[in-house]
Structure 1
Amino acid sequence: MSQITDPAPVRAFPRLGWVDDLLFPALRKAVEALPAAESRVAGYHRGWCEADGTPTPPSSGGGKSVRPALTLLSAVAVGECPSVAVPGAVAVELVHDFTLLHDDVIDGDALRRHRPAAWSLFGTPAAVLTGDALLVMAMRALAEAPPEHAAAAVRELVAALLELVEGQSLDVVFEKRSEVSVAEYLAMAEGKTGALIGCACALGGVLAGADAERVRGLREFGRRLGVAFQCADDVLGIWGRTSRSGKPVGADLAARKKSLPVVAALAGTGAASERLRDVYRSSVPLDERDVEVARRLVEEAGGREAAELEARRQMTAALRSLSFAQPTADAYRQLHDIAQAMTRRES
């Protein structure tokens, strides 16, 4: 079976320069409208500047603008110009950064995008307040969209945020529970990750004036893609490389987090599953050697294979849902390529 981190299945990420050209002027305007302290933390988090505010080269940091690309392409998919969806693209990128800032605080992750996480430099209060400020600006971006679509766009984001909070809350609860089923994990992932990506796609349709059925197809495409992405990300969190991902690989195992490979492995009945359960029941801190043992046990118990299989299953469901949106041929191809790159990658 091919593995997500093998060279063969890894897809080069599509070039999204046109997305940045549309997105960044409005995104920078939104971030620069924040209070000075929060604007600097947000700029650092995005890779636009150093901690002291010194601008960084244009190529540094900032991610791949995946969610905004999905928003803009979803508008194209239903026959509109991508520029009509810029408020949605800005909103989902701001919300995404809001979640990352808060996630790093909750998880205690010290690395983000190959650099120290914002909280580790500016402090927890500054990171939390910056996340809150970005959420406010996201709502403002949609509220200022053309009036015939603004209310529906705001409702779309609010619904996604409620699911996102519930999913994140379950993720925290699962850390303290001795048993979590695969079904429970996937429901959590749909809220924590799928809701926002589904919202990103739906907003493109909403701001383009698409009918409810096409918006529903776009939303479900994004939700399934989000779960597939989370499955792939869980695999990278255990078997990826920090030098490629920019995140501390193995940290989830060291913290005994129940990502999908672990949940699937713990549900097994073999010797590797039983040994892994002993590791997770213990309260003794795991050193680097212990983490390597846990990694091997998860794979032996079938956790990696199960997560990769689920990622493929969710991808199939995502593309089936996309067809219900009746996308234009070119938009379908581009959305398909982005989806493949998101779930078959090294970083």
Structure 2
Amino acid sequence: MSALDTSSTELQAFLSPRMVQSTVSPVMRQQVSALEPTLARICSYHLGFIDEHGDPSSAEGGKLTRSALMMLAAVGVGLPPEDVRCQAAALELLHNSTLIHDDIIDADELRRGRPAAWKVFGASLAILAGDALEALGLQMVVDDPGPGRAEISSVFAEAIGLVLAGQARELTVRLGPDTGIAEYDRIVEEKTSALLECALVTPALRAGRPEHVLAALRGAGRHLGLAFQIFNDVEDIWGDPTVTGKPVRSDILRRNPTFPVLAALSVDSPAGERLRRLWHADGTTEAHLQEMANLVEESGGRHTAERLSRNHLDSALEYLGQAELSPAASTELTALFDRIVNRTP
């Protein structure tokens, strides 16, 4: 059966998470295993291929969300998903390079329920491992001989540059909550949206689709990233740690000005003023963090964030509808967008 001639139901089965995993993970394993042995071991650990002793592991290695987006978009523009297997694996490696570095920057000791790579192997080697994944991902795209190689390579290079710029920008504003919403949006568009745009645009470049299709897919990826990150910010304060995979209110603990906090601080009210005082205080107790979370909600930060996340998701779907994808692929991408933002099964 060809994925190009399927209904939405058949396509859902054809591009199931297990199929995406079985298509992309072997490529990632093969490429990572060719790295310098120490770096290969650290990267393989981070990706869940092995445990800290080097033995095979069945640990969670990520949902391969960007691969799923890319492969569905490939079907949408008339390509077999295997045509972008190399690019999908490369994008996952680039994404994971940023996760290794993020864990070090944020001093997060856990990643997917296991000690983060830097806790097991040390920060210095983990930095190098993240760099190695970044270089490997870009090299895979450059070496692939298929159509649109130059354009796709350029998109990948631009995406990783934006991610790094967004990370740097985030570090300059996390010292206080006075940054505006526009600056927050810029950081998210760089750190989160850039790789999602890359996932959606790559198949269209391979298929030689016109600029208006590329623009629609970029818009879909940009708004999807904003919807996801804003909802993720809500979950950090009020979500279930077993779902989010990180301690509740960790961003507040680090005084990282997420969207609900920024929205609450922009309100001229007694609750907003109290929140400002607590934000600049040194308190890290559970009671201190809980009070700040309560004040964010009282000031309307949670409601504003949830509403804006829904609005961005609606915008992402509107752009998706302009991308001239096949109906089945468009239907499945719509469902995937919702799962990405709302963490639905």
Q: How far is 1:147 from its partner?
A: 4.7
Write out per-residue CA displacement over residues 73-118 of structure 1, whole angstroms, 9 at most, x where no aligned residue: 1111111111111122012101110110011111111111111111
Which range is displaced more, 193-202 or 171-180?
171-180
Q: Check whether the contact 1:163–1:192 (CA below 8 A) recurs between aligned residues.
A: yes
Give the aligned partner of residue 23 of structure 2.
Answer: 22
Give the aligned partner of residue 49 of structure 1.
Answer: 50
Give the aligned partner of residue 108 of structure 2.
Answer: 109
1:55 is matched by which residue type in structure 2? Answer: P
Q: Using a 3 Å threshold, how does the CA distance of structure 1 residues 265 and 90 change in structure 2: closer, same or farther?
A: same
Which range is displaced more, 303-312 or 215-224?
215-224
RMSD: 1.6
2:246 is matched by which residue type in structure 1? Answer: K
Alignment size in residue pairs: 331
Give the aligned partner of residue 217 of structure 1.
Answer: 216
Q: Check whether the contact 1:85–1:208 (CA below 8 A) recurs between aligned residues.
A: no
1:12-161 superposed matches below 5 A? 15-57=16-58, 60-161=59-160
2:56 is matched by which residue type in structure 1? Answer: P
- How far apart are the structure 1 equivalents of 2:114 and 2:272? 35
Give the aligned partner of residue 306 of structure 2.
Answer: 308
1:39 is matched by which residue type in structure 2? Answer: A
> What secondary structure sits across from 2:148 in the alignment?
helix
1:222 is matched by which residue type in structure 2? Answer: G
> What secondary structure sits across from 2:174 in the alignment?
helix
Q: How far is 1:300 from its partner?
A: 0.9
- Identity, in percent, stands at 36
Q: Check whether the contact 2:176–2:255 (CA below 8 A) recurs between aligned residues.
A: no
Q: Check whether the contact 2:52–2:120 (CA below 8 A) recurs between aligned residues.
A: yes
- How far apart are the structure 1 equivalents of 2:248 and 2:116? 15
1:46 is matched by which residue type in structure 2? Answer: L
> What secondary structure sits across from 1:148 in the alignment?
coil
2:308 is matched by which residue type in structure 1? Answer: E
Q: How far is 1:129 from its partner?
A: 0.5
Write out per-residue CA displacement over residues 160-205 of structure 1, whole angstroms, 9 at most, x where no aligned residue: 1222122111211111245011222112111110111111111122
Give the aligned partner of residue 294 of structure 1.
Answer: 292
Q: Check whether the contact 2:34–2:40 (CA below 8 A) recurs between aligned residues.
A: yes
Q: Which runs of 4+ in 1 moved over 6 A?
A: none
Q: How far is 1:148 from its partner?
A: 3.3
Q: TM-score, normalised by structure 2?
A: 0.92
Q: Which has the higher contact order (CA 8 A, sep 6+)?
A: 1
Q: Check whether the contact 1:261–1:306 (CA below 8 A) recurs between aligned residues.
A: yes
1:325 is matched by which residue type in structure 2? Answer: A
Q: 1:327 aligns with which of 317, 325, 328?
A: 325
Q: Check whether the contact 1:74–1:218 (CA below 8 A) recurs between aligned residues.
A: no
- How far apart are the structure 2 equivalents of 1:56 and 1:104? 21
1:227 aligns to 2:226 (yes or no): yes
1:246 is matched by which residue type in structure 2? Answer: G
1:250 aligns to 2:246 (yes or no): no
1:110 is matched by which residue type in structure 2? Answer: E
- How far apart are the structure 1 equivalents of 2:187 and 2:176? 14
Q: How far is 1:345 from its partner?
A: 2.2
- How far apart are the structure 1 equivalents of 2:176 and 2:330? 41
- How far apart are the structure 1 equivalents of 2:175 and 2:319? 35
Q: How far is 1:339 from its partner?
A: 0.5
Structure 2 runs not aligned, ≥5 long: 1-14
Q: Check whether the contact 2:279–2:292 (CA below 8 A) recurs between aligned residues.
A: no
Q: TM-score, normalised by structure 1?
A: 0.92
Q: How far is 1:151 from its partner?
A: 0.9
Q: How far is 1:255 from its partner?
A: 1.0
1:33 is matched by which residue type in structure 2? Answer: A
2:320 is matched by which residue type in structure 1? Answer: L
Q: Using a 3 Å threshold, how does the CA distance of structure 1 residues 340 and 147 change in structure 2: closer, same or farther?
A: closer
Q: 2:315 aligns with which of 311, 314, 317?
A: 317
Q: Check whether the contact 1:88–1:204 (CA below 8 A) recurs between aligned residues.
A: no
Write out per-residue CA displacement over residues 227-271 of structure 1, whole angstroms, 9 at most, x where no aligned residue: 111111111111112222221221111111101111111111111
Q: Check whether the contact 2:177–2:257 (CA below 8 A) recurs between aligned residues.
A: no
Q: Check whether the contact 2:39–2:129 (CA below 8 A) recurs between aligned residues.
A: yes
Q: How far is 1:62 from its partner?
A: 1.0
Q: How far is 1:48 from its partner?
A: 1.6
Q: How far is 1:215 from its partner?
A: 2.2
Q: Check whether the contact 2:176–2:257 (CA below 8 A) recurs between aligned residues.
A: no
